[in-house]
């Protein structure tokens, strides 16, 4: 389950940090950030979900729930937007290896900044009154809150993004 993913993620992140050649490549810079987002998401989500499942009610205040939601959405959009970048870098490494080797860590930071800023921009609408997520304690899952008027449009945007980046 999530605990095994957390352990494997931490071990992989630790291993990536130990190898100097991997640590300085833009590809693994992106992978490292995605792994950190995964680890933070697993820890925060499990803290919230386990507490609510044990108590059978929503224990946290709305600010804490918003933090959990923001972490989940930023991770989701970051992974979704990083896939085309990783695919392009993989393509470049196979078909233009000399050009790929010219990429520096600064390029990796640029790509990370690009997809993180876009994922934050895509998460901002969830903080407004028009759309958002809701945690259902009975089923122990997160879902769109269709009681808010903009959620249907936001759901369609999510589907379009998923179909646009099929990898």
- The three-class DSSP label of residue 127 is helix
The predicted structure's pLDDT at residue 58: 79
Q: Which residue has the tokens 């080797």?
A: 101
The predicted structure's pLDDT at residue 163: 80
pLDDT in tens, the chain (167 residues): 777 878 888 888 888 788 887 778 888 889 889 989 988 988 888 888 888 888 888 787 877 878 888 888 899 889 988 988 999 999 999 999 999 999 999 999 999 999 999 999 888 877 777 777 776 766 666 777 777 777 777 778 778 877 876 65
The predicted structure's pLDDT at residue 17: 81
Show the DSSP H helices in the chain as ranges: 2-18, 20-23, 26-55, 62-95, 97-102, 105-123, 151-164
Gap between the Cα atoms of 17 and 35, Å rounded: 12
Q: Domain range spanning residue 158?
A: 2-164
The predicted structure's pLDDT at residue 162: 76
Reading phi first (left if > 0) and then psi (alpha if -120 to 50, else beta), residue 98 is in: alpha
CATH number of the domain residue 142 falls in:
1.20.1070.10
The predicted structure's pLDDT at residue 165: 67
What's the 3-state SS for 93-126?
A: HHHCHHHHHHCCHHHHHHHHHHHHHHHHHHHHHH
Q: Tell me the pTM.
A: 0.76
Residues β-bridged to residue 141: 136
Domain count for the chain:
1
Distances (CA, A) of 9 to 44, 86, 117, 167: 15, 18, 23, 21
Strands 133-136, 141-144: pairing is antiparallel
């Amino acid at each position: 389950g999530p605990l095994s993913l957390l352990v494997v993620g931490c071990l992989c992140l630790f291993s990536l940090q130990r190898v100097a050649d991997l640590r300085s490549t833009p590809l693994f810079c992106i992978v490292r950030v995605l792994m950190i987002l995964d680890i933070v998401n697993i820890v925060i989500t499990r803290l919230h979900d386990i507490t609510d499942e044990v108590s059978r009610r929503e224990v946290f205040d709305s600010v804490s729930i918003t933090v959990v939601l923001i972490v989940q959405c930023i991770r989701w959009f970051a992974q979704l937007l990083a896939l085309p970048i990783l695919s392009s870098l993989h393509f470049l490494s196979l078909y233009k290896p000399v050009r790929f080797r010219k990429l520096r860590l600064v390029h990796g930071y640029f790509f990370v900044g690009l997809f993180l800023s876009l994922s934050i921009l895509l998460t901002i609408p969830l903080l407004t009154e028009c759309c958002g997520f809701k945690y259902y304690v009975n089923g122990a899952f997160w879902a769109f809150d269709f009681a808010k008027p903009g959620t249907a449009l936001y759901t369609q945007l999510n589907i379009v993004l998923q179909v646009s980046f099929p990898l």
